[in-house]
């Protein structure tokens, strides 16, 4: 199931044309947490994209959330984002 959710995130973020994308399942760190009781996942996304150039951290996060907001709070309970521009 985690692999399916990771694949879904990858597909949803593809329009941002990431030059680097890392999706890390951190659900095991939240065992017993209220949000994980129904099987919801916790992920960390490290994403790098030209589309983030000139944007604030908040604007970058909004671009990511706009792509996945309907997956929250289930099947994804929490999403930590590290959104960077290309060097």
Q: Give all domains of the chain, ordered by start, each with its CATH number.
A: 2-84 (3.30.300.90)
Residue 14's pLDDT band (cuts 50, 70, 90): very high
DSSP state of 39: T
Q: What was the pLDDT predicted at 45?
A: 98
Return the SS3 of 5.
helix
pLDDT digits (tens, 9 = 90+) for 25-61: 987 665 666 655 666 788 999 999 999 999 999 999 9
- Please provide the average confidence, as pLDDT, over all residues in the chain: 89
Return the SS3 of 68.
helix
Q: What was the pLDDT predicted at 30?
A: 57
pTM: 0.86
Helices (H) and strands (E) in the chain, counts: 2, 3
């Amino acid at each position: 199931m985690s692999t399916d959710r990771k694949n879904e995130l990858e597909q949803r973020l593809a329009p941002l044309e990431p030059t680097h994308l890392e999706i890390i399942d951190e659900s095991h760190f939240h065992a017993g947490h209220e949000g994980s009781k129904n099987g919801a996942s916790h992920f960390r996304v490290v994403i790098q994209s030209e589309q983030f150039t000139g944007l604030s951290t908040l604007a970058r996060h909004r671009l990511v959330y706009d792509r996945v907001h309907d997956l929250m709070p289930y099947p994804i309970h929490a999403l930590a984002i590290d959104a960077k521009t290309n060097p």
